[in-house]
């Protein structure tokens, strides 16, 4: 029996973990690309790291990408590689654009030459919409990016369309709205909130510094979203899909719920920090997942409340474990 081969770029991130877990359960052979490929950087994968082959690669190098595609000859490719932290994209827009935008050009070029029949899924981003003209965005909503990361993602998104139409490749883009999990990196506001709530509860911190609490996002669970991406590559025809919950919540709501999970009043610990405010802040993004529901038969399983709860619970467990190790 043939074992499908999948290549995941950016495998060390939260999406890489959940997609690897999903694909292994479905009997795939999974390979990954990581710029560092060392145990510390791959720590999010946990025990899954022993079940995958990870190649050290650089999305900024055509030679590097070509070599990995030729070695793996994947049936499916999922591109999560990006410089995805928006403030950092302002600090170094050239590198952010090279990895997030031109990296996709290199990947598609390599596939077109060495494995044109491979199915490709790009992790596009709702941040491409910027300040949208419509209160509920779908696949037809025009892009209006407000930061270098969003601009690079939009460039990559259009490239996928070009290769789908011009090269007749099975190339799709998943327009992903904010998706979180216990595997989320500490530099993101959601993880910062849940980690702070857990630390304050355990007496390890005294405050949470925060920027704009009025910004609203459509937050879902990363595990649900990678399933949508897998479903996209199982269809007869390639297409693009908004992957979202259709509901928005403010940063303030996220904070209130996280602190409620640990039985604390957030107002006693919040410190507004203007340094954390972003230029051209996108204040409201909420997506319509109707096409994904209809065509892919997909819908999110984890609610907003469940998502915040699982993140806080995991942070509590992790901190308690570390605290125990220190005492021991």
Domains of the chain listed by start with CATH number: 5-180+219-243 (3.40.50.720), 189-217+251-285+304-327 (3.90.25.10)
When pLDDT is averaged across residues 253-257 and rounded to a whole number, the result is 97
From CA 305, how far away is CA 146, in angstroms rounded? Answer: 29
pLDDT attached to residue 35: 85
Give the pLDDT confidence of 209-241 residue by residue, as tens digits: 998 888 889 999 999 999 999 999 999 999 999
Burial of 253 (0-12, 13-18, 19+ CB in 10 A): middle
pLDDT attached to residue 323: 67
| Residue owning tokens 């919540």 | 249
Checking phi first, is residue 88 left (phi over 0); if not, alpha (psi -120 to 50) or beta? alpha
* C-beta of residue 269 within 8 angstroms of C-beta of residue 207: yes
From CA 203, how far away is CA 102, in angstroms rounded? Answer: 45
Whether pLDDT at 244 is above 60: yes
Lowest mean pLDDT among 11-15, 24-28, 37-41, 114-118: 37-41
Q: Which two tokens stand for residue 316?
A: 């509590």
* CA nearest neighbour of 216 among 152, 162, 282: 282
pLDDT attached to residue 325: 61
pLDDT attached to residue 328: 47
pTM recorded for the entire structure: 0.92
Sign of the dihedral defined by the CA atoms of residues 230, 231, 234, 235, in that order: negative
Q: Where are the beta strands (DSSP E) in the chain?
A: 5-9, 29-34, 53-56, 76-79, 119-125, 170-176, 179-180, 208-210, 216-217, 220-221, 241-243, 249-250, 270-272
Confidence of residue 150 (pLDDT cuts 50, 70, 90): very high
Name, in order, each residue with C-beta under 8 angstroms of 105's C-beta and a sequence gap of 6 or more. Answer: 156, 159
Name, in order, each residue with C-beta under 8 angstroms of 327's C-beta and a sequence gap of 6 or more. Answer: none
Give the pLDDT confidence of 274-303 residue by residue, as tens digits: 666 665 555 578 999 999 999 999 999 999
When pLDDT is averaged across residues 311-315 and rounded to a whole number, the result is 97
Q: Where are the beta strands (DSSP E) in 131-279?
A: 170-176, 179-180, 208-210, 216-217, 220-221, 241-243, 249-250, 270-272
pLDDT attached to residue 215: 85
Q: Which residue has the higher pLDDT, 155 or 35?
A: 155
């Amino acid at each position: 029996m043939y074992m499908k081969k999948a290549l995941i770029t950016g495998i060390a991130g939260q999406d890489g973990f959940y997609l690897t877990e999903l694909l292994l359960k479905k009997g795939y052979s999974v390979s990954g690309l990581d710029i560092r490929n060392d145990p510390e950087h791959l720590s999010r994968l946990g025990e899954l790291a022993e079940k995958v082959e990870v190649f050290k690669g650089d999305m900024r190098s055509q030679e590097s990408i070509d070599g990995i595609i030729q070695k793996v000859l994947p049936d499916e490719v999922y591109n999560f590689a990006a410089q995805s932290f928006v403030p950092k994209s302002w600090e170094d827009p050239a590198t952010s654009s090279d990895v997030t935008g031109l990296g996709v050009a290199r990947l598609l070029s390599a596939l077109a030459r060495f494995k044109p029949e491979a199915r490709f899924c790009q992790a596009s981003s709702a941040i491409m919409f910027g300040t949208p003209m419509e209160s509920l965005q779908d696949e037809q909503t025009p892009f209006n990016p407000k930061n270098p990361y969003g601009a690079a993602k939009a460039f990559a998104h259009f490239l996928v369309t070009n290769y789908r139409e011009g090269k007749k490749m099975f190339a799709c883009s998943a327009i992903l709205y904010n998706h979180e999990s216990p595997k989320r990196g500490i530099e993101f506001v959601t993880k910062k909130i849940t980690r702070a709530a857990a630390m304050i509860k355990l007496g390890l911190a005294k405050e949470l510094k925060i920027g704009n609490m009025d910004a609203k996002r459509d937050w879902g669970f990363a595990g649900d979203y990678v399933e949508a991406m897998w479903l996209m590559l199982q269809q007869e025809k390639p297409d693009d899909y908004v992957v979202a919950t259709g509901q928005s919540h403010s940063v303030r709501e996220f904070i209130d719920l996280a602190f409620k999970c640990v039985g604390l009043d957030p107002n006693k610990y919040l410190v507004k920090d203007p340094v954390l405010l972003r230029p051209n802040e996108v204040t409201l993004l909420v997506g319509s997942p109707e096409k994904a529901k209809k065509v892919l038969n997909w819908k999110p399983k984890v609610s907003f409340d469940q998502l915040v709860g699982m993140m806080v619970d995991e942070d509590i467990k992790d901190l308690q474990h570390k605290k125990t190790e220190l005492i021991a």
